[in-house]
Amino acid sequence: MFKSIYYYIDKFNKEEIYKLNKSISIIYRNYSTRLNTNDIFQLVNLCKKQRRKVYISNNLKLALRFNFDGVYIPAFNRILGYKNIPKKKFEIIGSAHNVKEIINKEYQGCSKIFLSPIFKNKKNLSYLGVTKFNKIKLFTKKDVISLGGINEKNIKYLRMCNVKGFAGITWIKKNGPSINTGPF
């Protein structure tokens, strides 16, 4: 059973969020367009009404200002100034691709580390695979979330990884509320 499932979005789309199982958390990650504060406000309000966790990528100031549940720190962000956040129940999560980045995420105070890519996908032709994923995972005691290339054919292999959850875009978007969050 997965404890956590995360879905990445790059723009606010109310209908898309409504289609998702309410147990799926949202990570707002947009590196290409200027942030629209009205959309951010609406996103957080919708997620709070649905009792859904919502995170913003790489922007601690906006995360605190708009009352996000936390901040997502991408692998390329190596800044260490994320500890000692004054807000209670604020979660720092982040992604890594190797042992060095896992250690950095621990220094940044991440409670969960998204290790990627576990499987081959269009974006990443080189991937960790189950064996290498498990070897790298041994370098942290933090909760590990698998990311990258997860679909209906390979999700069964996550059982061999003993992960706390998974994250994605394409497969979750395609399957919407039919995602099985229980045993597989």
For residue 148, the model assigns a pLDDT of: 93
Answer yes or no: is 76 within a domain.
yes
Tokens 């695979």, residue located: 129
Answer yes or no: is 125 within a domain.
yes
Answer yes or no: is 140 within a domain.
yes
Element (H, E) at 101: helix 99-107
In tens, the pLDDT along 87-100 reads 888 999 999 999 99
Residues of the chain with pLDDT under 70: 1, 176-184
Answer yes or no: is 183 within a domain.
no
pTM score > 0.85 for this model? yes
For residue 184, the model assigns a pLDDT of: 38
Answer yes or no: is 170 within a domain.
yes
For residue 171, the model assigns a pLDDT of: 86
Answer yes or no: is 107 within a domain.
yes
Distance, CA of 50 to CA of 22 (rounded, Å): 7
For the chain, give the longest Cα–Cα distance: 44
Residue 65 is part of a domain; what is its CATH number? 3.20.20.70
For residue 124, the model assigns a pLDDT of: 75
Range of the domain at 55: 4-178
For residue 123, the model assigns a pLDDT of: 79
Answer yes or no: is 153 within a domain.
yes
Q: Domain total for the chain?
A: 1
User: What is residue 132's three-state secondary structure?
Assistant: helix
In tens, the pLDDT along 102-135 reads 999 999 999 999 999 999 988 777 899 999 999 9
Answer yes or no: is 95 within a domain.
yes
